[in-house]
Amino acid sequence: MSKTKNILVCPMDWGLGHATRMVPVIEMLKQRKVRLVLGADNRPYEFLKKRFPELEILRFPGYRPRYPAKGSMALKMLSEMPEMLLFADKAHNFLEKVIKSYDLDLVISDNRYELWSKKVQTVFVTHQLNIQTPKYGRVTNTALRQLVYSFIKKFDELWIPDFEGKQNLSGKLSHVKKFPLENHHFIGPLSRFQFVEPDPQTPSVDLLMIMSGPEPQRTILEVKLKDQAYHSGLKTVILQGRPEDEHYEKFGNVEVYSHLSDEKIAGYIQKAKIVISRPGYSTLMDLAWFGAKAIFIPTPGQTEQKYLAKHLKEKGFYYYQNQKGFDLEKALAEAEEYRGITMKNDLKTLQKRINRLLEPEG
């Protein structure tokens, strides 16, 4: 009899998105006869613990970046690179200990560049092959890409959560001329809702506002949207994206939840007339799964989100406004001209890659 495979799935902990998009991967691995261990920290740890209470979860320390209140996130990352590399070395050593203690056979890492090993098979999941920097930062762009590729090359396999052809979501973020690994695969968009039935009891609302991303900008946006939603008189639900809390409040036409089940969130996305959120890539994949209409507000300083918002607006899919000076009434009027996009992933490519990785050796 072949040995049961021991697998670690570990997403980056810079926000919830990397953890939520690992849900389809985890669900598919659960269907196999494997021992599955999850690794995470901060809010992703709380999310995965609630989403998969039946699975073992390991607190895997992650680096906490200092997001700028102003300026480019990419340039900020570059300035923090020495500290990040030092932390990555420590996390890599921690992984080697985990490989030994859990007798791991496979590690699937979502954007945790340090989780490679020569002892076991490792898979890297990312859509960020072409990190965006300001126009004046071409040298920065080249330096970041070289650094990113140098880490990805240490892995055995690369998974890209998008479609390969012209009908795709990530544009030039993922569709590059030269890939860091020959063994790369477009596995299609990954949504946390692909294995979820929306709650049919979820009421219809005019606006669903999904908060996400780093502080202090997450809270700055929430305060701004709460005020404008209240004065609009429209029936509004705000999801704070804080799985570590159990908080609810209602004032007038606005309801605020710290966190809801995937079934409830799916119900609100389906029944909301329009969604207002950051254009984070994981959020985008979730909205595309339902074909929901949306208005995007890029996180200030995050060039990737600004690129996605502009790219998708040019295609006629989604309207966006910048956070500074955001005007809800104007945004709702302008968004009428944008149709949204629907992208369903049958997960066949992902299933094929999992099958290949779990095949008995010999």
* Bridge partners, 109 (sequence order): 10, 124
Cα dihedral 315, 228, 14, 354 sign: negative
Asked if 5 contacts 101 with a C-beta cutoff of 8 angstroms, the reply is no
Domain with CATH 3.40.50.2000 in the chain: 5-190+345-358, 205-335
DSSP string over 297-361? -PPTT-HHHHHHHHHHHHTTS-EE--STT--HHHHHHHHTT----------HHHHHHHHHHHSPP
Predicted TM-score (pTM) of this structure: 0.92
Query: What are the distances in angstroms from CA 351 to CA 40, 121, 185, 218?
Result: 23, 17, 12, 35
Nearby residues of 226 by Cβ (< 8 Å), 6 or more positions away: 238, 254, 256
- What stretches in the chain show pLDDT beneath 50? 362
Spell out the CATH class of 5-190+345-358: alpha beta
Q: What is the pLDDT of residues 7-18, one digit of tens each?
A: 999 999 877 899
pLDDT for the residue 251: 94
User: Kind and range of the H or E element at 42?
Assistant: helix 42-51
* Bridge partners, 110 (sequence order): 11, 125
Q: What is the pLDDT of residues 123-168, one digit of tens each?
A: 999 999 988 776 655 666 777 788 889 999 999 999 999 999 889 9
Looking at CATH, the fold of the domain delimited by 205-335 is given as Rossmann fold (3.40.50)
